[in-house]
Amino acid sequence: MAVVHREHRLGPGPGPGHAVTGGAGGDPIAAYTADLAAALRGPRRAKARMLAEIADGLRDSAEPYRAAGADPATAVERAIDEFGRPHDLVPDCQRELTIRQTRLTAARLALCVPVLLVGWHLLWVGSASGAWRAAAVVLAAVTALGALEAVAALVLTSRLGRAVPTPPRLPAVTAWTASVTSIAMLLATAALAVGGVAALGPLLLAVVAAVAGHAVVAGSARACRACDALDRASG
């Protein structure tokens, strides 16, 4: 994770006269991370880990000043001057969280499609040929293409794939692909259900899988678009 440590400072802040203040029980580090958290959007766990690493980095940076005799508040303020103010960190932090959200969206899409294929197979066996079945084939093809894009996104956002710069439009492409695919999931299931004579069990399995998959993928896609918009705005 691309978290800012002392070795990777983003430039000095505006000076001690602009201290980070606020709630968090009077703890300047907690106030700092709270300000940063309010400006960032991304997967909850990844965001929490990032903020925890930044807080640890600030404490480590403050230690030499404490050892030199500075009081705790002054030591932390000097450490913050080294790190930069929260708004200085937002572009790099948000970019990392956007990539994390892109990867999460791609993973959810790639995992949902195989489950749907099982349900669709059960409906396909009982479906009659005709317009509904032809429509289901087209929609299933759209879903399969979406899954392929998701796999490509997972590769590009992996440690190996990130040996080269991540394509700047990948989050947006992944988000919109996931949205379109989540709709195709529902429509393909509906086409097979209307055009078929499947037993109640397989029908319920396919419908539940499609609805659940749509909810998971569509929600993640919306979060990915929001992250991408914030990333572009902060960059």
Residue 9's pLDDT is what?
A: 36
Tell me: the pLDDT tens digits for 170-212? 999 999 999 999 999 999 888 888 766 566 777 788 888 899 9
CA distance 46 to 101: 9
Quick one: DSSP state of residue 49? Answer: H
SS (H, E, C) 179-220: HHHHHHHHHHHHHHHHCECCCHHHHHHHHHHHHHHHHHHHHH
Confidence of residue 126 (pLDDT cuts 50, 70, 90): low
- Determine what percent of the chain is predicted with pLDDT higher than 70: 85
Residue 18's pLDDT is what?
A: 41
CA distance 48 to 2: 14
Tell me: the pLDDT tens digits for 63-112? 999 999 888 889 999 999 988 999 999 999 999 999 999 999 999 999 99
- All structural domains of the chain, each given as residue ranges with its CATH number in brackets, are 6-84 (no CATH), 98-234 (1.20.120)
